[in-house]
Structures are given as structure tokens and as C-alpha cells.
Structure 1
Amino acid sequence: MAIPTDERAPRPVPDGVVLSVVAAYAAAFVLFGLAVEPPGKVLGGLWAILTTRDALLTDYFGVGGIGGGCVSAGLLTLAAAFVYRRAGAPMTGAAVACLFLVLGFGLFGKNLLNVWPIVAGVALYARFRGEPFRVHINTAFFGAALAPIVSEILFSTTLAPLASVPLALATGLAIGFILPPAAAHLFRTHMGFSLYNMGFAAGIVGTLVVAMYKAFGYVPNPVFIWTTGANLLLSAFLAVVFASMAAVGYGLDRGAFRRLAVIFAAPGRAPTDFVALAGFGATLTNMGLAGALGAAYVLATGGDLNGPSIGAILTIVGFAAFGKHPRTIAPVMLGVFLGALSRAASPGDPSLTLAALFGTTLAPIAGRFGAGWGVVAGFAHASAALTVGPLHAGLNLYNNGFAAGIVAAVLVPVIVAIRAGLGYRDDLDAEAAAAK
């Protein structure tokens, strides 16, 4: 559909408005949590969440109830939004993705206690470099992927508090300090074809940290908390959230629906900022559509809506501002679905549900090389995501991002080589330079 000339350039939405919209969705989770459970139970749930171990897979709905989990995630995101405002950070597509990632993982692994040492570590790195914190603020909150390491040490039963508290703080600060340069370097490995670059970097760093602790005899025990039975309640809430995104997007930009064509035509290879490309209104509409597709996949395959799966759906929502759209995520989800069927596994199993949702980090492969290669990427990811977890002992929340980085690093050069043999020319370096 052609976009009318007078609507080609969307009116810029001030950063304060963008941040307010994101904060409003965080507040909606707080209100929903208080609506489904009484305040006393919510407070007890919050305490339980703050003091629990957070290794994969820890569903905060199972630890602190649906009310406690939603309130915890909402408050954490509001706190992060406050930091963004104080830092004067621009509300780009990456910032929107990061804050929705905080909201999503606030349901299973990040909480109001364990993220701050890592954020502070990134702030120290920024100070060391003589750069403003806002330059690295996305890295700081993306880097909270390794927040479970802080909780694991802090609440260790084998260490006295006099040792566990300073060790947890020191480890968090060290992780935050080394993540920015590590992530910047490792981006070259997958060339932007995995959107969760921090997941890949955190997987490498987490593997190193866990290896060091294991060498000194500290071996984390596995965790698996996965709740069921709330699909009706949670699907109704998500339906309201995603429908409101389309409505608000249209309210901000009457050309939002037409401008979706611009987003759907984009390959989505990182960095692709849909807010800059098509405006915040169209981006917000895309976020609602992508989230609805993710939720529909879970329900259609017989999966469960809970903390981890909604966290994965919200990750899709966030990155629908920074590289994902329905046309490119659907092939990857289909690939994971086929991967499950190929080994007679249920696509609705917890690990495969999360692989399908988080595996959409590989959407740029479908966007750049076609839907068929997106299916291949999803098929490969279905196996990779189930095998890399032991390397970091479940202490990297972005396990699928780690696996997807490996898949992209191996698969993309193979795709390029095959296409070269068929007469196609793929100058990825030139494309990356143009994107920047």
C-alpha cells in the first residue's frame, strides 16, 4: 500500500511522551497485580521474589503469586524508567526494547534487588571512559541478564552473610564493568542477525563466571518453577494490553496503520530503529501486533501463559520497536514448531515454548534472506536453545539469546556462501555500515 506524501514523515513524538507510554504499561502491570490479589498477599509475594534464587527457570508467579509477580515487574520497570529520565537518555527503539525487556524478565529473574549491582558496574565503566551514563544505559539494563548470579551468591546457603554480601556486590559490579566492551566486540560475531546481542555476550561472560566459581567448588543447583492454569485470566489481560497499543499508536499518529508497510518491508537487521524509521505510533502498533502473534502461538500450541512465557512475549513486543515484525518472526516460530515435531516433542512444552518465542531474535535472517531461511534458523535454534544452558548453569536469563548468537554466527556465513554459489551478491559489511 502506497503511503500518502503528506504522511511519509511522521511527526516526532517527544522522548518524554514515549517514556510516559512505556511507564503506563509498567503501571498497568502493577494495577493488574493489585486487582487479582489483595495487597497483603502481594507484599508477601514481593518479599518472596526478592529473596529467592533466580536461576532459570524461576517463574515469579510460582514464587510470589500472579499479583506479586506483576507488581514486582511493574515497579522494577518504573524504577528503570526513572533512571532513563534522570540520565536524559533518548527514547530510541533500542530504549523501548530494553524497558519492555525489563518488564518481561521482571516476571522471572530480574527484581528490585538483584539488577542494581550490574547497572552500577556499567555506570562505573562509563565513568572510567569519561562518557555520560546515558550512552551505556541500554547496556546496563540489558546486562541485567546476569542478575541471577547476584541473587545466587547473595542468598547462598554455603556462605555466611559477611562473605556473601560483598562477594555478590563485587561480582555484580565486575560483570557490569566488563559487559559493555565485551558486547561491542561480540556483536561482530553474529553481524546483527541475532537481535539479542547482550544475550550472546552475557552467555559468554556468564559461562566464564560460572566456570570460575565451579573451579572453587561452588556449583549452583538447578531450578524449575513453571506455573499453569491461568491462561484465561492472563490472555484477557494481554488482549487488552495489545489492543491498547494499536489504539494508542493510532491516537499518536493517524497514519500509523499505513506506515506499518514501512516496518514490514524492513529486514530488521540490528541496528534497525523502527521509531526513527516509521514513527512511534506505527512502532507501537507493530508492537501490539507482534505481541498478539506471540500470545496466539502459545495458546495454539497448548502452552502455558505464566511469568516466563509472558516475559518472552513482552520481549517480542519490545523488540518490535527494534527489528521484529510479524512477517519475520512467524517463519522462525514455524521453524521451532517443526523442530519440535521432528523429534516427537510437544511444541507446548516449556523449553520449546520459550525457544519459539525468544528464538524470534533470529528474525533478521528471515527478513534479509527470506522466510525459508527463517524456518531453517528456527529449526536449528530449537535444538541449540536446549543444550547451552549447562554452560552458564542457568544464570544467564537470556539463554535463548546465547544460543541464537551461536546459530546466527554459524548459519549466516553458510547462507551467504550458498547464495553466492547461486549467483547472489550479499555485501553484508556495506549493509551494516549503511544501517549505522
Structure 2
Amino acid sequence: MNRLSLRFYILLTLPLLMIVAAFLLDTPENMIKGLKAIVLHSDVLLVDYLAVGGIGATLINSALLTLANVYLLYRLKIEPTGPIIAAVLTIAGFAFMGKNIINVWPIYVGGYLYTRYKGTSFKSVILIMMFATTLAPLVTELLISPSLGKFGFIAGFLGGVIVGFIMPPLSAHMLRVHDGYNLYNIGFTGGLLGGVLMAVKRGLGIEPEKQFILSSEYDLELKILLSAFFLFLLFLGVYLNGRSLRGYRRIMKLNGRIVTDFVQLEGFEVSLINMGIMGLMGLAVVALAKSPVNGPVVAGLLTLVGFSAFGKHPLNSLPVILGIFLGEILIFKNIHPTVLAITALFGTTLAPIAGSFGALAGIAAGMLHMFVVLNVGYLHGGINLYNNGFSGGIVATILVPILRAFGKEA
């Protein structure tokens, strides 16, 4: 078995595990009914697919989306390196809240048309397209809009195509704004683009309906499923690494700033170890926040694990998490447990700040992120799923120049 095929097989582990779990926990009839409910429900933040369609349909939705993207990567002969692993697991996670088997594909079509226009290959933008599905809720909003009626499908398709077409040049520019210190660069881009789109909608007198739909009934099942996956990654990494943690300390010395691909720099085996450790650490963070494991929390955990192959490790993530919890304790105090949990998990988008400027800077970044993230959702009206990426981009853009002026950068 060569290195390329091994990585693909490991990426297939989670969706296959989800399919098995879906049939153990639910019936095919409920899955079909639940998938229909998921596809036709508004995805504007914050909507938990577990509450909308049930556990079977949500697991199947995530599994199908993940399998489709892994197959696409395989057909394009793209080796799963750090950013690819981050993208795949981010999609798997957000298929629990906002991305479904219908609303992501128009964005991919837009990316393909962009490559045809530029005379390049689709392979060159597939990573951007996978993350650009942060604006998938826009497709759904147009698709189910009562005012558009039978034209909603066409409007939704065209809206997604436009997003996919313009995202590559936009994201490249936005990376320069925060200089790689916000790992969720597409979230920053999507937030700005979503803000413009919502400004137009509001100008036309259309205000998005606020949503806060969460489940709590599948906490135990999801904890078992995710714990098994994280332990699998950890033990497999140790086994492939000669039954040792050799090389893991080198990952902990990297600052994580874009582009820091742990797979390319330190090896796939050591990256698996980091992913497993970070996943278990993420579960501990959720428990500390006193939140059940629900759709948004699964999205946060799988995104954390994915980016643990591309920038995040305990030493640069824990200071940011600490800053977020301190912000909640000292300032907000009454934040919903799930909101606190996902802010702590997604807030690690700012891990490169701690990695480059030290733990105190990371704590400051986490506290500032807590202030910002709770207030920026209004700008894009919830159609940007990576709200923490938008907030992280703002925080990094403001904080990094100040840190550079008064501190030493690693």
C-alpha cells in the first residue's frame, strides 16, 4: 500500500463509521425524511441538523458529502496534505450545520467556470472551493425563498455559481490582509462577501430571520463516535510512527502561520498523532464549557482536528482557548454553553498568534475574539458559516501590527 492510497483510506474512515452508526441509530425511512427536511430548511446561523432531520439523516448527509469530496480529490490525483485534510474534515463537520448534499455544488460549478475562464485546471482551485462552501446557506436561502417561488432553484444555483467564481481572487487578496495569522482565511473572505450581499438584501427591505436551533439528545452517541475516531487517529499515528511519539515535539515548535503544513514538514504519522490529541483535547474543552455534543459542536471538533494537520497544536491553541474562557468568566458570564464551546473550538483559528508572539498574546487574542465574534454575525446575516473565521480575520488584522510594533515575532 503506497503513501497516497493510505491517506485516502484514512480519510474514508470517518464517513464509513458515520454510515454504520446511522443505520444502528436510525431507520432508512427516518433518514430519507430527515434528509428532505435538512435540504429544505434555512441554514442561516445557527441551525443544528440533528434537531432538523435527526441523527441518521445528519450522519448520512455528512458521510455522503465527505465521500463525494474525497472521491473528487482522488479523481484529481490530489495528495491529502495538511490543508486538504483540514478541508475534508471541515466539510464533514459543517455537514452537521449548514452544508448539505444540495447546497454546496453550485459553488463548485462556479469554481470550475472560473478555471475555464482563466485557462487553468480545476485542481488549482478545489481547496478554495471546499472552504468556499462557507456560503452554502446563501444557496439554500434563495432556493427556498417564498418570494422567488419556482425561480428559487435557478436563483440559488446562480448565487452559488457567482460565489464560486469570485472566491479564488478574493481569498488570495484577503490572505494578505491578516498575513496568515487567521487560519480560516475563507471565513474572513466569506464574511466580507456575505456582508456585502446582506447589505444589498437589507437595502431591498429583506431582513434574514434569526435562528438558534440546537439539539442535546444525541450527546452520548456522538461522544462515543468521536472519541473512537480521535483515538483511532492517535493510536494509528503512534503505530505508523514506529510505535513512538518521535518527532511530535517538532510540531509543537511550529508557529502555525499560513502556510504551515504539518504533513509536509513533519510527516503524516506525526500529524495523525497531533490530530488525535487535539480531538481529545477538544472534547475536554466542550466538557469544561458544559455543553452537550450537538451539530455545531461536532463542526467545531472536526474542524479543530482537521486543522491539527495544518497549523494547530496544543501549545499554540491552548492560550487562545484560555483567553476565550477568561473573557466569558470576566465579562460575559451568561453565554450559552454551546456558544462558549464552539467559540473556544473555532477561536483556535488565531493559534498562529500565540505560536508567533507567545502565550500572553494568544490569551489577548482569545479575549478580543470573544468580544468580536458575538457581534459580527449581524453583518453577514448568518449566511457565512465560518463566523469565527470572519472574526479571527478582523482580530488578526488589528492585533498583529500592534504585536509586531511592541513585541518580537517568532
**Bucket of the pairwise TM-score, normalised by the shorter protein:** over 0.9
Partner of 1:127: 116
Partner of 2:158: 170
1:302·1:348 contact (CA, 8 Å) conserved in 2?
Answer: no
Task: Between 229-238 and 152-161, report the one with greater CA deviation.
Answer: 229-238
Partner of 1:152: 141
AA in 2 matched with 1:26? P
SS at 2:309's partner residue? coil
AA in 2 matched with 1:247? F
SS at 2:292's partner residue? coil
What is the CA distance between 1:84 and its match in structure 2? Answer: 1.0
What is the CA distance between 1:255 and its match in structure 2? Answer: 5.9
**Could you report, residue by residue, the CA deviation over 1:50-69 in whole angstroms, capped at 9, with x for unpaired residues?**
11111100100001112211
Instruction: Identify the match of residue 389 of structure 1 among 377, 389, 401.
Output: 377
Structure 2: give runs of 5+ residues left out of the alignment. Answer: none
**Could you report, residue by residue, the CA deviation over 1:273-314 in whole angstroms, capped at 9, with x for unpaired residues?**
011111111111111111111111111221121010111110
Structure 1: give runs of 5+ residues left out of the alignment. Answer: 1-11, 429-436
**Could you report, residue by residue, the CA deviation over 1:90-136 in whole angstroms, capped at 9, with x for unpaired residues?**
32110010000000001100010000001111111112111111111
1:401 matched to 2:386: no
Partner of 2:285: 297
Aligned residues: 410
SS at 1:97's partner residue? helix
Partner of 1:8: none
Residue 410 and residue 13 in structure 1: after superposition, are their counterparts in 2 closer, same or farther (change >3 A)? Answer: farther
What is the CA distance between 1:319 and its match in structure 2? Answer: 0.2
Instruction: Identify the match of residue 371 of structure 1 among 359, 372, 395.
Output: 359
1:142 matched to 2:131: yes
1:347·1:353 contact (CA, 8 Å) conserved in 2?
Answer: no
Partner of 2:212: 224
Residue 298 and residue 13 in structure 1: after superposition, are their counterparts in 2 closer, same or farther (change >3 A)? Answer: farther
SS at 2:141's partner residue? helix
What is the CA distance between 1:346 and its match in structure 2? Answer: 4.2
1:106 matched to 2:95: yes
1:59 matched to 2:51: no
Partner of 1:9: none
AA in 2 matched with 1:20? Y
Separation in 1 of the partners of 2:165 and 2:232? 38
Separation in 2 of the partners of 1:344 and 1:91? 40
1:320 matched to 2:290: no
Separation in 2 of the partners of 1:15 and 1:347? 44
AA in 2 matched with 1:307? G
Partner of 2:168: 180
Separation in 2 of the partners of 1:153 and 1:186? 26
Partner of 2:62: 73
Identity %: 39
Separation in 2 of the partners of 1:89 and 1:256? 29
1:256·1:282 contact (CA, 8 Å) conserved in 2?
Answer: no
2:91·2:99 contact (CA, 8 Å) conserved in 1?
Answer: yes
Q: How does 1:223-262 map to 2 (within 5 A)?
A: 223-254=211-242, 257-262=245-250
1:388·1:403 contact (CA, 8 Å) conserved in 2?
Answer: yes
Partner of 1:335: 323
Separation in 2 of the partners of 1:51 and 1:241? 30
Separation in 1 of the partners of 2:334 and 2:203? 37
RMSD of aligned residue pairs (Cα, Å): 1.5
Instruction: Identify the match of residue 273 of structure 1 among 258, 261, 269.
Output: 261
TM-score by length of 1: 0.91
What is the CA distance between 1:250 and its match in structure 2? Answer: 2.5
2:237·2:271 contact (CA, 8 Å) conserved in 1?
Answer: yes
1:193·1:269 contact (CA, 8 Å) conserved in 2?
Answer: yes
AA in 2 matched with 1:109? G
1:82 matched to 2:41: no
AA in 2 matched with 1:175? V
What is the CA distance between 1:171 and its match in structure 2? Answer: 1.0
Partner of 2:406: 418
Instruction: Identify the match of residue 38 of structure 1 among 27, 30, 34.
Output: 27
**Could you report, residue by residue, the CA deviation over 1:127-152 in whole angstroms, capped at 9, with x for unpaired residues?**
21111111110100100000000000
What is the CA distance between 1:158 and its match in structure 2? Answer: 1.9
Residue 256 and residue 365 in structure 1: after superposition, are their counterparts in 2 closer, same or farther (change >3 A)? Answer: farther
TM-score by length of 2: 0.97
Partner of 1:206: 194
What is the CA distance between 1:215 and its match in structure 2? Answer: 2.1
Separation in 2 of the partners of 1:189 and 1:398? 17
2:289·2:338 contact (CA, 8 Å) conserved in 1?
Answer: no
1:301·1:347 contact (CA, 8 Å) conserved in 2?
Answer: no
What is the CA distance between 1:38 and its match in structure 2? Answer: 1.8
What is the CA distance between 1:15 and its match in structure 2? Answer: 2.4
Separation in 1 of the partners of 2:188 and 2:74? 28
Q: Hey, which bits of structure 1, 4+ residues long, moved more than 6 A? A: none
AA in 1 matched with 2:160? G
Separation in 2 of the partners of 1:237 and 1:254? 26
Separation in 2 of the partners of 1:64 and 1:229? 13
